[in-house]
Copies of this chain bind each other. A is one copy, B any other.
């Protein structure tokens, strides 16, 4: 009897453990007896010619019959499993690259080959979450040296697919996050594409925020496009706005980010590797990075912003891509809406040149578009923004946006929330601060981004005078329960809008 290769039949338990691979086995399985039952035992699960590494969880009830095993839904997906198929579970040898992680933890710097092995093993699933957390912590702050950031970025590019475009000049933009409502992408991309520059934009969905750019775009058009479909859209319209996860440009980064957000760590090295690996894999060679600076934004001061700019440009140079960096105001949300539908509404108002369009969103989008246009040899330095404004004003941007939506699968109308409730100022005064993180949390509790129409509609900005009992913002929600969730949080007394 060779229990090491005892076969178990798959039963679908339907347990979602997010991006964690878990295999569930009965307590009387040979694998349990021999591994003992330890913290985070990792085992190899083989099905036909595929295998994954998973954490062992043990079932002490009759959830599984003798001879059966279960998988977390993420593991099920990775293995392309089917009910009734058989798997075998075996031991894994110690993962060599964890030794490099320990080396980094103890303060030594890593060679390119070592970082490459780490990235490979993470992508192959050999790391448990605690190992990923340890790696990220060891790289946190400024602990990655420039040569390490370059090696990490190159490893992350190498492990994924990479797109080649027919045009020589391919531009892209990225915002270093933290600002709710900051949906400039949906305005910038059509301006650039209307001008004729190629901009294959992939964006993220929200992980801990109330909406990612992909969530907002999804209100107006499909964003789950595969490689072939994405290429078709860009070749036809010069631009797209799709969800990066559906093309998996940086599979290692997708795994790292899940743990990174849970830790809420700022790591300039990881950040640069994350941004540039995705952009370079997407085939871009001229990249504009927007860094909003503010005490509740991701980058909190000018010193940190300057350090990031230095690293971004050095790594970009090594990778052969041109990087421009813009420092912008990150002290409060941009636009009025926070949450997919409300943000989409703001975006359309700007594109339609509506008088009620949020001025801050319009102006910031034009600044970014102007800088991107100046990557073109046809546009003189200092003339980009004016050109962008003209393309917006004459309706070309709106038309291009509609064309992109159609090419991605058809433009949609914006849904409206069933329930709304205003949040009232407790005193008169002047708005002195709006907390980006708290306002995003309120929108999230109200149901965003899962409920597209849910979110927060801001009625004031920093500097505005307010009167007691005036509505500071309105919470939008699809259910009374979620509305209550948001207000329960507000009643905890956190300073979402500070009146001085």
Chain A positions near chain B (C-beta within 8 angstroms): 1-4, 6, 12-19, 24, 27, 30, 33-40, 57-63, 73, 91, 93, 98, 102, 105-107, 128-134, 136-138, 140-141, 206-208, 258-259, 261-265, 444-447, 449-451, 479-482, 484-485, 488-489, 492
Contacts and interface: CB of A to CB of B under 8 A. Distances in A.
Given A33-B479, A38-B262, 4 more contacts: A4-B481, A33-B451, A130-B130, A131-B133
A134 B131 contact: no
9 contacts: A3-B481, A15-B58, A33-B447, A36-B450, A40-B259, A102-B264, A102-B265, A105-B141, A129-B130
B16 A39 contact: no
Contacts of A59: 13-16
A484 B136 contact: no
* Complex A-B, nearest 7 residue pairs according to Cβ-Cβ distance, in ascending order: A14-B61, A3-B481, A133-B133, A137-B137, A130-B133, A16-B58, A39-B258
**Residue of A33, A136, A206, A482 with most partner-chain B CB within 10 A:** A33
B262 A39 contact: yes
Task: State how many copies of this chain the complex holds.
Answer: 2
B133 A137 contact: yes
A261 B130 CA distance: 11
Given A1-B484, A13-B61, A39 B207 contact: yes
Nearest to A480: B1
B3 A18 contact: no
A284 B294 CA distance: 52
A492 B19 CA distance: 31
Most chain B CB within a 10 A radius of its CB, from A15, A59, A91, A140: A15
A444 B33 contact: no
A63 B72 CA distance: 13
A135 B18 CA distance: 22
A301 to B, nearest CB: 14
A40 B262 contact: yes
Contacts of A492: 93
A224 B133 CA distance: 34
A225 to B, nearest CB: 23
Nearest to A487: B4
Contacts of A259: 39-40, 130
A62 B37 CA distance: 28
A249 to B, nearest CB: 19
A131 B208 CA distance: 16
Contact of A141 (B36, B73, B107): B107
Given A4-B484, A489-B91, A16 B27 contact: yes
Contacts of A14: 59-63
A62 B13 CA distance: 8
Contacts of A37: 16, 18, 450
A40 B18 contact: yes
A59 B30 CA distance: 27
Nearest to A450: B36
A482 B34 contact: yes
Contacts of A130: 129-130, 132-133, 259, 262-263
A377 B40 CA distance: 47
A461 to B, nearest CB: 25
Contacts of A261: 38-39
A93 B492 CA distance: 9
Contacts of A484: 1-4
A140 B24 contact: no
Given A3-B482, A137-B137, A445-B34, A39 B18 contact: yes
